[in-house]
Amino acid sequence: MEPTFRQSLNWLHTWAGVVIGPLLFLVFWTGTVCVFDKEIDRWMIPQTRLIYDGTPVSADRLLAEQRKLPPRQAPWAMVMPNERDPFAWIAYRTPTGFDRKFYDPVGLKLLPDAETWAATRFFFPLHYSLHINAWDIGLWLVGLAGMAMLALSVSGVIIHRKIFADFFTLRRSRQPQRALLDLHNTAGTLGFVFYVAMAFSGLAIFAATYYPSGWMAGFKGSQQAYFTEAYDNYFRPPQKKPAAPVASLDAMVEAATKAWDGLPPFMVRIWLDGDASAFVEVRPSIEGDLAMRTDPFYFDAATGALLHRSTTRPVTGLQQYLVGLHFVQFRHWTLRWVYFALGLLGSLLIATGFLFWGESRRKAHEAAGLGGVRFVEGLAAGSTAGLVVATLAFFVANRLLPSGATFLGGARYELEIWVFFAAWLATFAHGWLRRGQAWIELCWIAAALAAAAVLLNALTTGGHLARTVAQGQWAVAGMDLVLLAGAAAAAVTAFRLQRRKVAYKNGRLVRQGHEGVSS
Amino acid sequence: MANRTTLSAPAGAGQAMLRVVLRVAAIVLGSYAASAALVAAATTLLPFTGVARSDAFTLSAALGFLVYLGLGLWAAAERSLVRLFVVLASLTAGGAAVAALIAGGAI
């Protein structure tokens, strides 16, 4: 393409970065947010701000609670509490999707429904499917972003010959273009392994979606047949006859726990509930291991007899390591913070790369009268800082909307999502209208929203920092502290950008004055 | 005129644009098609070495992303568009043929 291999990859790096940049930032930012998805859920769903002391919850008692709910379509599942999700919950399918009922882990009292999608149902699906479910378009777009991330990482290394020199080169340059490139290179080298690992493991999770050619050839066109063999899933057909009462679930859980060397259960699922073929699937907790192993036990619901124990195949086990690496469901707070920090660094990498494109072309394009830079600058402001602002607006909306609120037919949880997208769209318009000022103003808005979120949390739930820290509510306290740190960082950035702008203007005025004298 | 397929060669703007479009199509679509065909071929071939079918696909698909990456980077750098399309088309056709023959029970 270009005269040399390196120049060709530079071309690829530049254009793939500019075209995929906004999508890539969205995926990286939401992924970073989801490192603390459960903690954000606690903050956004105040009725679940509980503390779980580790006492096992009786599956039989949960079943009794489930029987009080209106009849549901099978299968349905009960999920056991843990440190990050300190409540038991029952998940069932509805005609329109799926729903959850929360129970406090001690008395199994039914908690009020969540009137928000919070992080686990809004940011998490946004991260992997963009909430575009038709024909899996969202999944494919995110997959494209993942491949682009791999290509950008590899091409980035190849085009930077002085990679180890760059590692130590962070010049505090006054020239924005140079400073952006230094920041981009430093963020790129520091987190390189993480970005590649996340992009690759993310792709591997949806391998069966991205490479249908494989299971079409190997499994006669049946994706289900592949999953059944890979995960050693068990199923038996319904008999269309009424079921005998369910035997003791606790006894089944105990048998499975013993076989897992004491690993607590994560989930108990009843398949074909109400049919004579009903059976129970028990899965172990995934908190203790990096690999996201499922390894379920299957029991006959009526007799409690063991029907099947799944064993993981060697390569599936490898796949589960990749999945576990990406999902971060293991219990390790230090590692979780490292994921969060590297995620922020990756977001910075993408944002600075994007901005560098504009900065390095601004003068030439302005001289040539091209509008491309202006367009990309607005796009950059909206798709990076704007997304951060939208995220914060989502949190603020969560604390401001009253319970049961509806507007134009939208339920409360939908209103929060509308606020998110409306705020995001507004930042694009802002970026195009207030060119030059957009970044400074977006930083001030982000700082104000983050501080407002903390304040509103204290006012609406009483969970201010002094109380949450004293009570050991680290999910809520941590969220507040990160919001405050973010507010401070945004304010400092806004202040410095403003000062630099003034200094730059004065400098230019001085230079112009000087030229005026000399001419 | 050794560089007839590079953008720097003297050519009309329309022709240059067409070359960029073909280049991008080769990187994004052509490399994917070739990797997908090779994944299908590997999924059907690996079981002959004693690997379970599901493991064969899980492994092939994971490696498929790396093949896609390698082909995509090469597609950005290869000077001759003709050679690029010949190689990508051969890999796609070859992989698909192997997979179809084995899956169809011909081998």
CA distance linking residue B78 with residue A108, whole number of Å: 64
Determine the residue of chain B that is closest to A312 in CA distance. Answer: B55
Yes or no, beta carbons of B39 and A155 under 8 Å apart: no
CA distance linking residue A432 with residue A375, whole number of Å: 7
B84 DSSP β-pair partners: none
Yes or no, beta carbons of B77 and A1 under 8 Å apart: yes
Query: How many other CB atoms are there within 10 angstroms of residue B2's CB atom?
Result: 8
In tens, the pLDDT along A127-149 reads 999 999 999 999 999 999 999 99
Yes or no, beta carbons of A214 and B40 under 8 Å apart: yes
Average pLDDT, integer, range A79-92? 94
Average pLDDT, integer, range A51-69? 93
CA distance linking residue B27 with residue B5, whole number of Å: 16
Closest CB to A316: pick one of B58, B68, B103.
B58
Residue A237: band (very low, low, confident or very high) from pLDDT cuts 50, 70, 90: very high
Query: How many other CB atoms are there within 10 angstroms of residue A511's CB atom?
Result: 10
Q: Is A219's Cβ below 8 Å from some Cβ in B?
A: yes
Average pLDDT, integer, range A353-365? 81
Q: Is A23's Cβ below 8 Å from some Cβ in B?
A: no
Average pLDDT, integer, range A452-465? 96
Yes or no, beta carbons of A316 and B41 under 8 Å apart: no
What mean pLDDT, rounded, does chain A reach? 90
* Residue of A216, A315, A325 for testing the chain B interface, max B β-carbons within 10 Å: A315
pLDDT at res. A511:
42
Residue A512: band (very low, low, confident or very high) from pLDDT cuts 50, 70, 90: very low
**Tokens, residue A24:** 């890539």
Yes or no, beta carbons of A9 and B40 under 8 Å apart: no
DSSP letter string, B4-58: TTSTTSS--HHHHHHHHHHHHHIIIIIHHHHHHHHHHHHHHHGGGGT--HHHHHH
> Does the pLDDT of residue B105 top 60, yes or no?
yes
State how far residue B89 is from chain A, nearest Cα, in angstroms.
16
Residues of chain B with pLDDT > 70, as a percent, come to 88
A283 DSSP β-pair partners: A267
> Does the pLDDT of residue A153 top 70, yes or no?
yes
Yes or no, beta carbons of A217 and B40 under 8 Å apart: yes
> Does the pLDDT of residue B3 top 70, yes or no?
no
Report how far Cα A198 is from the mean position of its chain's Cα atoms. 12
Residues of chain A with pLDDT > 70, as a percent, come to 93
Determine the residue of chain B that is closest to A221 in CA distance. Answer: B103
CB A88 within 8 A of CB A78: yes
pLDDT at res. A513:
38
Average pLDDT, integer, range B61-81? 96
Q: Is A2's Cβ below 8 Å from some Cβ in B?
A: yes
- CA distances A274 to A58, A125, A356, Å, are 21, 32, 61
> Does the pLDDT of residue A515 top 60, yes or no?
no
> Does the pLDDT of residue A165 top 60, yes or no?
no
State how far residue B48 is from chain A, nearest Cα, in angstroms.
12
Q: What was the ipTM of the complex prediction?
A: 0.90
Yes or no, beta carbons of A9 and B77 under 8 Å apart: yes
Yes or no, beta carbons of B68 and A218 under 8 Å apart: no
What stretch of H or E contains A192? Answer: helix A192-205
* Residue of B5, B57, B63, B83 for testing the chain A interface, max A β-carbons within 10 Å: B57
For chains A and B, count residue pairs whose Cβ atoms are closer than 8 Å. 125
SS3 content of chain A, % helix, strand, coil (to 5): 65, 10, 25
Closest CB to B76: pick one of A1, A211, A217.
A1
pLDDT at res. A299:
97
B→A contacts (Cβ < 8 Å), by residue, are: 6-8, 23, 27-28, 35-37, 39-44, 47, 51-62, 64-65, 68-69, 72-73, 76-79, 99-100, 102-103
Residue A357: band (very low, low, confident or very high) from pLDDT cuts 50, 70, 90: confident
CA distance linking residue A317 with residue B55, whole number of Å: 10
A284 DSSP β-pair partners: A265
> Does the pLDDT of residue B7 top 80, yes or no?
no
pLDDT at res. B36:
98
Yes or no, beta carbons of A218 and B53 under 8 Å apart: yes
Closest CB to A216: pick one of B28, B40, B73.
B40
